[in-house]
Amino acid sequence: MKKESKAKRSIVSMALQVLKQVEKKEPPSLEIPLRTVDNIIFDEKKGHYVLGPKKAIRTSRNVKHLKPLTQLVWVASLARKLIDEDKTSTLRDVFYMAEGVELGFEDQSESDRIITELESVIGSPREDFKIYPEERSAIFADLTIEYTVKGYEGRRINLTSHPDGLMIGPALATSKFVKTSADKVLCIEKGAMFTRFVEEKAWKKYNAILIHTAGQAPRATRRLIRRLNTELDLPVYIFTDADPWGLHIAQVIISGSANAAHVPELATPKARWMGVYASDIEEYKLPSTRLLDVDIKRLNELKKDKRYTKDPWRKEIDKFFEIKKKAEQEAFSKYGLSYMVDVYLKKRLA
């Protein structure tokens, strides 16, 4: 609840600022951090993207600013209402709610942009004002949590309770960590592999919290990973497919995305990508397919990205170019269903 209170305080203080201006008969205006390319900076020391110092003034003196300024204030008031009423919402919902008040949002990309603007003005991710993504990933772990959502306050559950894994939705994302026997976090791209890790008791063998990212990890999941890393001080290891998309799934968990430079709470700079590597395709003779043109194009883009200049990234990107092949996590099934956990994972974590 603390994070929601911080978001609410910032919204109220933003509203008071506008109110004061109105009372003084000044045309209301707000300072908004710029999210243009030249103000999105990769902070080498922090290991993730941050916004630079540039700001824009949005003022009702300028007739062109009037609409976006009004929209921003409306979204802020909606955000406060969502916090007060403890109701979860989505980007899509907000667009439709805006339809009800005729605020002139052209399409959803416009309301999405205003929500992002509110995030950067108040310095809180939108999950703190109850706007959640639709996608859900999952977690399985000997970790006891305590819910903070309405109707469940104080109730506890151990995350081994459901063998299919527990969905990381708004309730789990906002829960408190009570107790765990785990000493590491394993993030896994594919659902099939996650199920395998649960069934093969990888969580027990390696004292690990298992997280299924379901492809690109949703924001709420990235934030949970960061919390496990910072609040519980657990190292985080990421396993993906051996292809350029897998690399980037790992990288976004580690260093965030440029798009979300204004919400650093989503990055886990200390997390490490642990495979499947391009070099594993050779070493383990994994079933593989040829890289497509679109994969090559993506690898060339990654090569230019400064986050990929260190090893293992650089070495593995070069290996991809050399062997021109990619492989999925499930390719290890060639050696039977237990091999990934009993042999590969053991070796990689050693």
Nearer to a second copy, 90 or 207 (CB): 90
What's the rounded Cα separation, in Å, for the pair 337 and 229?
Answer: 29
What's the rounded Cα separation, in Å, for the pair 17 and 31?
Answer: 11
Minimum gap (Å) between residue 159 Cβ and a second copy: 9
Q: Which member of 49, 96, 132, 308 is catalytic?
A: 96
What's the rounded Cα separation, in Å, for the pair 58 and 163?
Answer: 51
Nearer to a second copy, 42 or 95 (CB): 95
- Tokens 């772990």 correspond to 141
Minimum gap (Å) between residue 145 Cβ and a second copy: 10
Q: How far is CA 203 from CA 110, 162, 163, 195, 299, in A?
A: 43, 14, 12, 11, 32
Provide the binding-site residues for a second copy, judged by CB under 8 A.
86-90, 92-94, 96-97, 99-100, 132, 134-136, 138, 147, 149-152, 157, 161-172, 190-192, 195-196, 199, 201, 287, 328, 330-337
Are the CB atoms for 170 and 127 separated by under 8 Å? Answer: yes
Catalytic residue list contains 96: yes
Are the CB atoms for 73 and 116 separated by under 8 Å? Answer: no
Nearer to a second copy, 29 or 160 (CB): 160
Minimum gap (Å) between residue 13 Cβ and a second copy: 25
Minimum gap (Å) between residue 331 Cβ and a second copy: 5
Nearer to a second copy, 241 or 316 (CB): 241
Nearer to a second copy, 137 or 255 (CB): 137
Beta bridge partners of 137: 168
Q: How far is CA 49 from CA 142, 222, 263, 311, in A?
A: 32, 14, 9, 19
Three-class secondary structure of residue 275 per DSSP: strand
Q: What is the DSSP letter of 163?
A: T
Minimum gap (Å) between residue 128 Cβ and a second copy: 17
Catalytic residues: 96
